Amino acid sequence: MSQEDFKDGIQRLQNNLDAHFQAVQTNIEGQHTEIRNSLKETSAQEDLGATLNRTEVQFMAVNTEIKNQLQEIGSKIITKEDFANSIQALQAKLDAGLNRTEELRMMKITADANDELKSQANTLKDTINYLQSQLKISKGQTKIKEDILNGKEEHLKNKDQQISDLRNKIKLIETTTISKQSEQSSKLSEYQIKLREMEPFKVTSASSPPGWTVIQRRIDGSENFNRTWNDYKSGFGKVSGEFFIGLEKLHRMTEARPHELYIKLGKVNGSTSYAHYNDFKIGSEKELYELKNLGKYSGETGDSLTYSKNQKFSTINRDNDNTSDLNCAFSFGAWWYHKCSESTLNGKYFKNGKGFEGIHWGSWHDNDWEISLTFVEIMIRPKS
């Protein structure tokens, strides 16, 4: 082989090698890019990336060394022996390059492992998606259950309302029954009241409206109401008929609890009417059983009692009124008098409904003092 031929051969070899390394490098770079891309999402990215970089650097070093040697060969006049050695060295370098390629193939396997990891990650993603969908379904079911519960609650509310309505109906029936019973029995029901430091005493419930306690009644003139201070203090008469409960009891009852006052009146012609006061209170004996409170008037008779508010009680033998030359009670019966009054419900009883010193409620009969009422029922009840 001539030296020219040798040089040509070397040149061809060098070109081939260059082409080969170029191909290998491109291949490696492609693989690296692929691996890098596939590693982007994994936590092992840094470790694998570093390994790849290291391998690449090593490969480039080998490549450069081969190139340098080939250039050296090409620029030297060398012996056959040298050439054989050089070829051997090249062969070794090529083997090394192949080893690198093998290494890179291993790297590809690592990339496969990465694929496996990716597929695991995907599986994990699928699992997460599945769990999320399950959660959605579960939430949906919870919502449905909540809706059912809300429905049940609404249902219960309705039931409560129904029960409440039924209770009210029962109350109404009971009330009606009681009032019917008392109407049927024509006798008024009697019961006892016990107050602190007092003997129990009998009272009657009102014929109507129900639930009130009667404290004074005029129906037929059978009872004498022309009485002294002590009689009005302790009360008199029969609770089943005509009577007055007594000022001391009224004081104790209305002092213990706020009371309402209801006055039912009747004329000889059978017509009836009423007056209502929403805050009735009587003072102590020391205060001369003053009419301390009346509250607000309502009713049909007109208001003939507010004039007597804050006035002391007077009887035939106790003049506590504000007139200087007479005792109102002497003519019109015991009452809360100022300069006398607009009402006299303890006056004389006139069966024919006529009499100047009789039972009056001025506003109900145009202050015609000849008219005397034939029915009186004064009642109280604790304020609710």
How many residues bind Ca ion, per CB under 5 A? 4
Taking the complex as a whole, how short is the minimal distance between the CB of residue 325 and Ca ion, in angstroms?
Answer: 7
Q: Interaction with Ca ion in 258-277: which residues (CB under 5 A)?
A: none
Q: Report the alpha-carbon distance of residue 65 to residue 307 in Å, rounded.
A: 132
Binding of residue 279 to Ca ion (CB under 5 A): no
Taking the complex as a whole, how short is the minimal distance between the CB of residue 327 and Ca ion, in angstroms?
Answer: 5
Binding of residue 315 to Ca ion (CB under 5 A): no
Phi, psi of 250 (to 5 degrees): -60, -45
| Token couple for 360 | 């009056």
Taking the complex as a whole, how short is the minimal distance between the CB of residue 320 and Ca ion, in angstroms?
Answer: 8
Closest C-alpha to 302, from 362, 356, 375, 359: 362
Using CB positions, name the residue nearest to Ca ion.
323
Residue tagged 């609770």 (tokens)? 239
Q: Report the alpha-carbon distance of residue 111 to residue 98 in Å, rounded.
A: 19
Looking at the Cβ atoms of 321 and 377, the one nearer to Ca ion is 321
What single letter denotes the amino acid at residue 365? H
Binding of residue 319 to Ca ion (CB under 5 A): yes
Looking at the Cβ atoms of 260 and 319, the one nearer to Ca ion is 319
Phi, psi of 324 (to 5 degrees): -95, -25
Closest C-alpha to 345, from 203, 233, 257, 243: 243
Taking the complex as a whole, how short is the minimal distance between the CB of residue 323 and Ca ion, in angstroms?
Answer: 4
Q: Report the alpha-carbon distance of residue 188 to residue 209 in Å, rounded.
A: 12
Taking the complex as a whole, how short is the minimal distance between the CB of residue 306 and Ca ion, in angstroms?
Answer: 20
Query: Are residues 212 and 262 in contact, defined by beta-carbon separation less than 8 angstroms?
Result: yes
Closest C-alpha to 331, from 344, 313, 350: 344
Query: What sections of the chain are H helices per DSSP?
Result: 3-39, 45-75, 80-184, 229-234, 247-256, 328-332
Binding of residue 330 to Ca ion (CB under 5 A): no
Q: Report the alpha-carbon distance of residue 14 to residue 200 in Å, rounded.
A: 137
| Choices 103-111, 161-169, 221-229, 321-329 (CB under 5 A): range interacting with Ca ion | 321-329
Residue 304 to residues 23, 276, 349: CA-CA distances in angstroms?
A: 126, 11, 19
Closest C-alpha to 117, from 44, 48, 32, 34: 44
Q: Report the alpha-carbon distance of residue 352 to residue 367 in Å, rounded.
A: 18
| Choices 106-114, 155-163, 317-325, 355-363 (CB under 5 A): range interacting with Ca ion | 317-325
Taking the complex as a whole, how short is the minimal distance between the CB of residue 326 and Ca ion, in angstroms?
Answer: 6
Residue 214 to residues 241, 244, 246, 270, 326: CA-CA distances in angstroms?
A: 11, 9, 12, 20, 31
Looking at the Cβ atoms of 281 and 312, the one nearer to Ca ion is 312
| Choices 5-13, 58-66, 161-169, 311-319 (CB under 5 A): range interacting with Ca ion | 311-319
Looking at the Cβ atoms of 255 and 342, the one nearer to Ca ion is 342
| Choices 19-27, 175-183, 204-212, 325-333 (CB under 5 A): range interacting with Ca ion | 325-333
Binding of residue 321 to Ca ion (CB under 5 A): yes
Taking the complex as a whole, how short is the minimal distance between the CB of residue 368 and Ca ion, in angstroms?
Answer: 25
Looking at the Cβ atoms of 87 and 326, the one nearer to Ca ion is 326
> Applying CB under 5 A, which of residues 323, 367, 368, 382 lies at the interface with Ca ion?
323
| Choices 29-37, 63-71, 178-186, 324-332 (CB under 5 A): range interacting with Ca ion | 324-332
Taking the complex as a whole, how short is the minimal distance between the CB of residue 319 and Ca ion, in angstroms?
Answer: 4
Looking at the Cβ atoms of 233 and 318, the one nearer to Ca ion is 318
Taking the complex as a whole, how short is the minimal distance between the CB of residue 229 and Ca ion, in angstroms?
Answer: 14
List residues binding Ca ion (CB under 5 A).
319, 321, 323, 327
